[in-house]
Structure formats: structure tokens, C-alpha cells
Amino acid sequence: DIQLTQSPSSLSASVGDRVIITCRASQSIRSSYLNWYQQKPGRAPKLLIYSTFALQSGVPSRFSGSGSGTDFTLTISSLQPEDFASYYCQQSDSGPPFTFGPGTKVEIK
Amino acid sequence: EVQLVQSGAEVKKPGESLKISCTGSGYRFINNWIAWVRQMPGKGLEWMGIIYPGDSDARYSPSLQGQVTISADKSRNIVYLHWGSLKASDTAIYYCARRHSGASIDAFDIWGQGTMVTVSS
């Protein structure tokens, strides 16, 4: 099974900050099979970015994804109040199981 | 509107059985795999298993194999998650999610609202 790790596990940032979250896989993942989700407290997760780079419909352009092989990143170019949430990477390359990373919680500084 | 609607919150005792549901609408239900994802209190997302409603082909996470059963009723657009004997450690929110797979995507694009299951004596 492919294992995913994320760093940091949590971070504190201010509105307007640039935020970078990293996802590392235990083995190489094809770029079409790495996704990112956003989850706000008390809400279901929401697909944010699929296939490493592609923004899901309706997702603001301040979100972007990059990476290849075993290392992937989610970048928020200018953090907005509504972006304070937890973020999870997920792989669909090898499975099942189609594993999630442990999550990164973005909090207000 | 494409959506997945889950059954309501449940409070059960250890050893009891439970079946929760996820009903799809707004799309051709039999054509997309549906996954179940667990979120224990204060924790992250854990992929549990997946089913193809068209033929009820179900796959499970190795860590949960044998502890739950995933089934589907394609005539009613419903997927189920079933426990034969609940444990306190099954207390969690359970989400269903639609797998959208194609040439350039393989992701869970539609999510149910979640079902809170509490197991306590």
C-alpha cells in the first residue's frame, strides 16, 4: 500500500500569507492520481485539486498544486479568511486502499 | 443536482448491528464507484472501502477487512455500510463519496453530508 505523509501537520498563518503544504508518498505516484481536499470544521470534505494540478470547478485561483513522483505541494498564494481549514492529499494510483494523508490544519495566527 | 444524501445519526450499544445508507441522485448511479471514509473524533480521513453499484464489486482496506460490509441496491440508488457487531472504537463520522474516474481524473468529487455513529454502553 502507498503511504502518504504531510508536512507540516499544522500551521498558523495570517490573512494574505503564502502557504505551502507538502505531501510525500512512500512510492512514486502518477500525476493523474494525486488529489487535494479541503475540510472545514463540521463539514464534509470538498475536492479542491485533482490530478496534481487541476482546480475543481469553483475553486479560487489562489489555490494551486504541483509536484511529481513522490513529492507534491498545495500552495495558497494569499490566504483568505475562508481558507482556514484542514487539507488532505489522497492517492488513487495504487489501490485499493486509496489512501489519504494525515492532514494539515491551517489556523489563524 | 448531483448529490449523495446519507442517513441520520445513530446511537448504539456495543455488540449491536447497524446499517447506514448513502443515496445518490442527479447522475447515473450504477456508473460510479462509491467509497466510504471514516473520520474518528478529532482525527483525519481514513479510506474504508469502495463498491461499484453496477455489479456490487466491493473492495476493502486491509485494516478493516471483515469488520464491515459494503453493499448496494442499484434499483434504489443506495449504498450501505453494515456492522454486525459494533465496538466503541467504531464511534466516528462516516462519509460516502463518489469516485469520478476518467482520462484525466480519478478523485472523490461528490461527498455525502456524513453520518455520525456513536457507540456507547
B87-119 pLDDT, tens digit each: 999 999 999 999 999 888 999 999 999 999 999
The pLDDT value given to residue B76: 97
Given an 8 Å threshold on Cβ–Cβ distance, is B107 in contact with A90? yes
Given an 8 Å threshold on Cβ–Cβ distance, is B111 in contact with A44? yes
The pLDDT value given to residue B39: 98
Cα separation of A67 and A86, whole Å? Answer: 20
Q: Extract the C-alpha cell encoding A16.
A: 494574505
CB A64 within 8 A of CB A75: yes
Instruction: Identify the band that residue A108 occupies on the pLDDT scale cut at 50, 70 and 90.
Output: confident
Task: Kindly report each contact of residues B66-70 with a partner whose C-beta sits within 8 Å and lies 24 or more positions away, as own/partner.
Answer: B68/B36, B70/B36
Given an 8 Å threshold on Cβ–Cβ distance, is A45 in contact with B111? yes
> Minimal Cα–Cα distance from A3 to chain B, Å?
12
> Is residue B84 pLDDT above 90, yes or no?
yes
The pLDDT value given to residue B66: 87
The pLDDT value given to residue B46: 97
Q: Which helix (H) or strand (E) holds B60?
A: strand B57-60
Q: Extract the C-alpha cell encoding A40.
A: 472545514
> Is residue B65 pLDDT above 90, yes or no?
no
Given an 8 Å threshold on Cβ–Cβ distance, is A92 in contact with B106? yes
pLDDT digits (tens, 9 = 90+) for B8-35: 999 999 999 999 999 999 999 999 999 9
Spell out which chain B residues touch chain A, with contact meaning CB-CB distance below 8 angstroms: 35, 37, 44-47, 49-50, 59-62, 95, 97, 99, 101, 104-109, 111-114
Cα separation of B115 and B94, whole Å? Answer: 5
Q: Which of B105, B109, B113, B116 to mutate to test the interface with A (most CBs of A within 10 A)?
A: B105
The pLDDT value given to residue A75: 98
Strands A10-13 and A54-55: unpaired
Instruction: Identify the band that residue A109 occupies on the pLDDT scale cut at 50, 70 and 90.
Output: confident
Give chain B positions within 8 Å (CB) of A97. Answer: 47, 61-62
Tell me what percent of the residues of chain A surpass a pLDDT of 70.
100
Which residue in B47, B99, B104 is closest to A100 by CB distance? B47
Given an 8 Å threshold on Cβ–Cβ distance, is A45 in contact with B44? no
Cα separation of A20 and A77, whole Å? Answer: 8
> Would you tell me how many other CB atoms lie within 10 Å of the CB of residue B59?
16
The pLDDT value given to residue A21: 98
Instruction: Identify the band that residue A93 occupies on the pLDDT scale cut at 50, 70 and 90.
Output: very high
The pLDDT value given to residue B29: 95
Instruction: Identify the band that residue A94 occupies on the pLDDT scale cut at 50, 70 and 90.
Output: confident
Given an 8 Å threshold on Cβ–Cβ distance, is A99 in contact with B108? no
The pLDDT value given to residue B104: 86
Spatial neighbors of B36 by CB under 8 A, at least 6 apart, are B22, B48, B49, B50, B68, B70, B79, B81, B94, B95, B96, B97
Tell me the residue type at B57.
D
The pLDDT value given to residue A73: 98
Residue in chain A nearest B104 by alpha carbon: A32
State chain A's mean pLDDT as an integer: 96
> Minimal Cα–Cα distance from A18 to chain B, Å?
24
Given an 8 Å threshold on Cβ–Cβ distance, is A56 in contact with B109? yes
